[in-house]
Amino acid sequence: MLERMDDFFTARVDGYDEHMRQYVEEDSKFYAYTASLLPEEEGAEVLDLGCGTGLELEAYFDINPAAKVTGIDLTEAMLKALKDKFPDKAITTVCGSYFDVPFGKEAFNAAVSVESLHHFSEEEKLPLYKKLWEALKPGGYFVLTDFYADTDDQEAYFRRELLRLRKEQNLPNDVFYHYDTPMTAEHEKRILLSAGFSKVEELGSWDTTHTLRAEK
């Protein structure tokens, strides 16, 4: 049975950081690398989509302890772990879906997302990326580190499987369920460009994890 997205992460919050550090290939490298691309100026405003327990933020606060971070996540338990970890940092948390939460206009110097958006389709991401584009200040940018498919065939297979499982289990359309549907990094780049980003580059990759940087 597919699990609801928030139930899936609530059930795994204890030990989540250790699991990610131990089992995700070379994770310490991509968390540190992602953080190294975020703004270094004091008081920089950064939006984190699907921040979870904040593994990327741990690395970022080492570089910029005075950053002001807004973290959005569906799972209250993940946000509680994040807040417990960083009681002295300027973090605003929002428990909700990044598809629904308003981001504001020209509010952030940069945005980041790590290992969260591979659950969603182009139809879901395009309006999200347009909203994100509007939320970035002039000169702002988005650093996206995520799990990607190697080929179009793989991408199509995961999407078909999700639709098949949802149908088989008679799941409602308006609830998120946990199932990985990575797209190719090339497809992700095209969506970011369609949303209005002026330049999208791939800056790093670790097996199936790639880091993209999209400029407003």
Which residues here bind ligand SAM, judged by CB under 6 A?
5, 9, 20, 50-52, 55-56, 72-75, 78, 97-99, 114-116, 119, 176
Q: Which residue is nearest to ligand SAM (CB)?
A: 52
Distances (CA, A) of 91 to 4, 26, 45: 26, 27, 10
Q: For residue 96, give the DSSP letter.
A: S
- Smallest distance from ligand SAM to CB 76, Å: 9
Indicate the residue among 158 and 176 with the shorter CB distance to ligand SAM. Answer: 176
- Smallest distance from ligand SAM to CB 138, Å: 26
Sign of CA dihedral 98, 100, 101, 107: positive
Bridge partners for 180 per DSSP: none
- In the sheet with 68-73, reading across from the earlier edge strand, the strands are 90-95, 68-73, 45-49, 108-114, 136-147, 209-215, 199-206
Indicate the residue among 98 and 129 with the shorter CB distance to ligand SAM. Answer: 98
Indicate the residue among 97 and 208 with the shorter CB distance to ligand SAM. Answer: 97
- Smallest distance from ligand SAM to CB 209, Å: 10
Indicate the residue among 39 and 71 with the shorter CB distance to ligand SAM. Answer: 71
Indicate the residue among 22 and 138 with the shorter CB distance to ligand SAM. Answer: 22
Q: Which two tokens stand for residue 139?
A: 């000169």
- Smallest distance from ligand SAM to CB 71, Å: 9
- Written as one letter, the residue type at 150 is D
- Smallest distance from ligand SAM to CB 5, Å: 5
Distances (CA, A) of 149 to 47, 184, 186: 25, 5, 10
